[in-house]
C-alpha cells in the first residue's frame, strides 16, 4: 500500500499536522525530507488571500533555505534598510540603518514579503515530497490519545462525511484559537498585553519615494508603523482608540489622514486598498507545549506582538527545532523523552522574544505626553551609548536553554545553544549545505582515523575550518577546537577535546542531500 493509498483510506499516518499555514507546511516539509509519512489537514482548500506577516530575519531565512526555497523567496522579498523612529510630525528621532548585504547567516538581516505569496511557494515546494500530503477543506473535530496512537476525527467540509485517522504524533499548528491546544488541556498564560490595531495594505502603481526601511511612529496618541513589503505593496499599522473600529476606515477617504505623510504626492487613483482589518496584538504563551504524542507549534503555543517582527519566524523556529527530533525518534529509536527538549529549548526563547517585543513596543509608544517628550529628548542621543546601535541592528536571537540536546558547560556557555555561522566555504557552498540534514562536526584540527570513524558511524559530516577562515575565527573566538552542529544549525556541544566532541554526536543516519 502506498502512502497516498493510506491517506485516502484514512487509516494511519506517522505524523498528522493540524493547520496548513507557514508553520504547519514548514514542519511537514522538514519531516518529509527525512522520509517521515506526513499528512497536513487544513480547514481551507487554498491559501488565505490576505497578507498578515511581512517580515523574516536572516536566521529564519536559513530555515527557508533548508526547505529548498531560498532563491524563490529572494525573488518575492526585499531587504529592509533598518528602523527609523519618527514623531507625530514625521521628524526623525533616531535611525538604525542595516546593511542590506548578507549577514553571518548568509542572508539579509531583515526581509519584507507578502505572506500569501510565501505560503503558495511553501505549498508548491511541499508537493515535491512523496511522503507528505496536503488535505484541504478538512475540519478536525476531535483528538484523543490511545494506546495505538492519536485518533483524529475529521470531517470533509465539502461532502460532510466524517472519518478517522490514527497518527503516531500530532502537531497542532492551528493558530491562536487552536482546537489542538484545547484538546490537550493546555492554557495560554498572558502578559496582560492587549492592543487593538488597524492594519492597512495598499497597492500603489507609483513609487512613494520613502526611505526603504521600517518607519515607527513613536506617538502615544496614535502609534503607527509604515513599511514597504513589495515592489508595489505597502503596509501601515495604527493603534486604534477605544471608540474606533476597522469599519470607520473602510474607505480610502477615511484612511487618507492616517497615511497622508507618506502619500501626499500620490493621487487616489494610484492607490488600491487591498485590506483594512482590525487585529488585537497579544502577548501569550501556552503553559505546556506537549501532551504525550501531541505537540503545539506557532501561534497555538505563543503569541508575540509585532514590534520586532518575530511572529511567523517563531513558528518556523518551532518546526525546525522539533522535526528532526521526531525523525530521530521514529527512524533511530531515540527515547521519547528526548522530545521534551522541544519545549525546554523553545519556550524560553519564545518568552525572551515576547518580552523583547513588549519592551520595544512600550519604549516606542507608551507614557502619554510625558513619554513622547522623553522620546524626543533621549532617542536622538542613543547613538552616543557605546555599542547600543550595534545591538539594536544585530538580528542574533538568544541561545537555547540547556537540554539533553544542548550541553552547556562553564567554558562553552557562550557557544552551546547558539546558531553556528553559515559562511561560504572554499567549496563554493555555505556551511548549512555542506553539513546537510543531519549532524555535523566543525573543527580546526585534522581528524585521526578513530575520530573520523566515530563521526562516520553516526552518519555525520565533517567540515574542516581552515586557518584564517570565518569558521576558524568563530571557533577560536570561543576557545574551542570542535563543535557538534545539530540538524537545525544549533551548537549541541563544543570543546577542545576533539575526541570527546566526536563521541557526543548522536546516532542519526538520515537521508543524504541529493
- Domain membership of residue 405 (yes or no) is no
Q: For residue 6, what pLDDT is reported? A: 42
In a shared domain, residues 181 and 306: yes
DSSP state of 477: H
326 & 472 share domain: no
Residue 78 lies in a domain: no
Q: Does the residue 425 lie in any domain?
A: yes
φ and ψ at residue 253, rounded to 5 degrees: -60, -35
Domain presence at residue 34: yes
CA distances (Å), 392 to each of 96, 97, 212, in order? 7, 10, 18
For residue 150, the model assigns a pLDDT of 97
Q: Say if 273 falls within a structural domain.
A: yes
Instruction: Please check whether residues 130 and 273 belong to one and the same domain.
Output: no
Judge whether 161 and 247 are in contact, CB under 8 Å.
no
Confidence (pLDDT) at 332: 87
Boundary of a domain, candidates 282, 313, 348: 282
Q: How far is Cα 70 from Cα 68, in angstroms, rounded to an integer?
A: 6
> pLDDT value at position 513?
42
Predicted local distance difference test score (pLDDT) of residue 509: 57
CATH code where residue 213 lies? 3.30.9.10
Q: What's the rounded Cα separation, in Å, for the pair 39 and 99? A: 40
- Pair (453, 495) in one structural domain: yes
Question: pLDDT, tens digit, for every residue of 479-503?
Answer: 999 999 999 999 999 999 999 999 9
End residue of a domain, out of 301, 320, 340: 340
Query: Using an 8 Å Cβ cutoff, are 181 and 172 in contact?
Result: yes
- Asked whether residue 216 falls in the same domain as residue 250, the answer is yes
Same domain (yes/no): 199, 263: yes
Rounded CA separation 138/20 (Å): 11
C-alpha–C-alpha distance, residues 364 and 376, integer Å: 11
Whether 346 is in a domain gets the answer no
On whether both 173 and 32 belong to a single domain, the answer is yes
Q: CA 235, CA 199: separation in Å to the nearest integer? A: 7
Number of domains in the chain: 3
Locus of grid cell 544549533: 490
C-alpha cell, 129: 515530497
CA-CA-CA-CA torsion for 186, 187, 189, 194, nearest 10 degrees?
130
User: Residues 298, 268: one domain?
Assistant: no
Residue 322 belongs to some domain of the structure: yes
pLDDT at 10: 52
The pTM is what? Answer: 0.93
Q: Is the dihedral of CA 432, 436, 439, 442 positive or negative?
A: negative
CA distance 400 to 350: 10
pLDDT digits (tens, 9 = 90+) for 154-204: 999 999 999 999 999 999 999 999 999 999 999 999 998 888 999 999 999
Is residue 291 located within the same domain as residue 327? yes
Please say whether the beta carbons of 461 and 509 come within 8 A: no
Q: Are 142 and 271 members of one domain?
A: no
**Smallest Cα–Cα separation from 493: which of 419, 433, 423, 405?**
405
The confidence score (pLDDT) of residue 384 equals 55
Q: Which three cell numbers stand for residue 136?
A: 484541504
Q: What are phi and psi of 491, to 5 degrees?
A: -75, 120
What's the domain range around 463?
418-504
Q: Domain boundary residue among 267, 282, 297? A: 282
161 located within any domain: yes
- 230 and 170 in one domain? no
Residues in the chain predicted with pLDDT less than 70, given as ranges, are 1-10, 367, 380-394, 509-514
Is 495 found in the same domain as 455? yes
Q: Taking the CA atoms of the chain, what radius of gyration do you get in angstroms? A: 24
Q: Read off the CATH number of the domain in which 169 is found.
A: 3.50.50.60
Distance CA 442, CA 422 (A): 12
- Sequence-ordered strand ranges (E) for 65-120: 78-79, 82-86, 92-97, 110-112
The grid coordinates listed for 92 are: 526623525
- Phi and psi angles of residue 374, each rounded to the nearest 5 degrees, phi first: -65, -40
Amino acid at each position: 500500500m502506498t502512502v497516498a493509498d493510506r491517506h485516502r483510506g484514512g487509516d494511519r499516518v506517522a505524523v498528522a499536522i493540524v493547520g496548513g499555514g507557514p508553520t504547519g507546511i514548514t514542519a511537514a516539509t522538514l519531516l518529509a525530507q527525512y522520509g517521515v509519512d506526513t499528512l497536513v489537514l487544513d480547514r481551507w482548500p487554498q491559501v488565505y488571500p490576505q497578507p498578515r506577516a511581512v517580515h523574516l530575519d536572516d536566521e529564519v531565512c536559513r530555515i527557508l533555505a533548508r526547505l529548498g526555497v531560498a532563491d524563490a523567496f529572494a525573488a518575492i522579498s526585499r531587504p529592509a534598510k533598518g528602523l527609523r523612529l519618527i514623531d507625530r510630525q514625521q521628524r526623525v528621532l533616531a535611525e538604525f540603518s542595516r546593511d542590506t548585504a548578507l549577514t553571518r547567516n548568509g542572508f539579509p538581516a531583515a526581509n519584507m514579503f507578502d505572506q500569501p505569496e510565501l505560503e503558495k511557494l511553501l505549498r508548491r515546494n511541499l508537493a515535491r515530497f512523496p511522503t507528505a500530503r496536503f488535505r484541504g477543506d478538512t475540519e478536525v473535530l476531535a483528538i484523543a490519545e490511545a494506546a495505538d496512537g492519536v485518533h483524529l476525527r475529521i470531517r470533509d467540509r465539502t461532502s460532510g462525511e466524517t472519518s478517522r485517522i490514527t497518527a503516531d504524533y500530532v502537531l497542532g499548528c492551528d493558530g491562536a484559537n487552536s482546537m489542538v491546544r484545547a484538546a490537550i488541556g493546555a492554557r495560554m498564560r498572558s502578559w496582560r498585553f492587549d492592543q487593538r490595531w488597524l492594519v492597512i495594505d495598499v497597492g500603489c502603481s507609483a513609487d512613494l519615494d520613502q526611505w526603504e526601511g521600517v518607519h515607527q511612529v513613536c506617538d502615544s496618541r496614535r502609534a503607527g508603523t509604515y513599511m514597504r513589503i513589495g515592489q508595489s505593496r505597502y503596509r501601515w499599522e495604527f493603534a486604534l482608540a477605544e471608540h474606533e473600529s476597522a469599519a470607520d476606515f473602510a474607505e480610502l477617504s477615511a484612511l487618507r489622514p492616517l497615511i497622508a505623510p507618506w502619500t501626499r504626492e500620490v493621487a487616489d487613483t494610484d492607490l488600491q486598498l487591498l485590506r483594512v482589518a482590525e487585529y488585537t496584538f497579544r502577548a501569550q504563551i501556552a503553559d505546556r507545549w506537549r501532551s504525550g504524542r501531541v505537540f503545539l507549534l506557532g501561534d497555538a503555543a505563543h503569541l508575540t506582538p509585532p514590534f520586532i517582527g518575530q511572529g511567523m519566524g517563531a513558528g518556523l523556529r518551532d518546526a525546525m527545532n522539533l522535526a528532526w527530533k521526531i525523525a530521530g525518534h521514529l527512524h533511530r529509536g531515540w527515547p521519547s523523552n528526548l522530545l521534551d527538549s522541544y519545549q525546554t529549548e523553545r519556550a524560553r526563547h519564545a518568552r525572551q522574544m515576547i518580552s523583547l517585543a513588549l519592551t520595544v513596543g512600550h519604549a516606542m509608544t507608551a507614557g502619554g505626553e510625558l513619554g513622547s517628550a522623553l522620546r524626543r529628548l533621549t532617542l536622538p542621543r542613543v547613538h552616543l551609548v557605546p555599542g547600543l546601535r550595534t545591538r539594536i541592528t544585530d538580528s542574533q536571537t538568544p541561545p537555547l536553554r540547556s537540554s539533553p540536546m544542548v550541553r552547556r558547560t562553564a567554558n562553552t556557555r557562550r557557544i552551546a545553544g547558539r546558531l553556528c555561522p553559515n559562511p561560504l566555504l572554499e567549496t563554493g557552498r555555505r556551511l548549512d549545505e555542506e553539513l546537510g540534514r543531519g549532524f555535523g562536526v566543525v573543527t580546526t584540527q585534522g581528524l585521526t582515523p578513530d575520530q573520523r570513524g566515530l563521526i562516520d558511524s553516526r552518519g555525520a559530516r565533517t567540515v574542516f575550518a581552515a586557518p584564517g577562515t570565518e569558521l576558524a575565527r568563530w571557533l577560536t573566538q570561543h576557545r574551542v577546537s570542535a563543535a557538534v552542529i545539530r540538524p537545525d544549525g544549533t551548537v549541541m556541544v563544543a570543546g577542545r577535546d576533539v575526541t570527546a566532541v566526536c563521541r557526543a554526536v548522536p546516532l542519526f543516519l538520515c537521508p543524504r542531500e541529493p
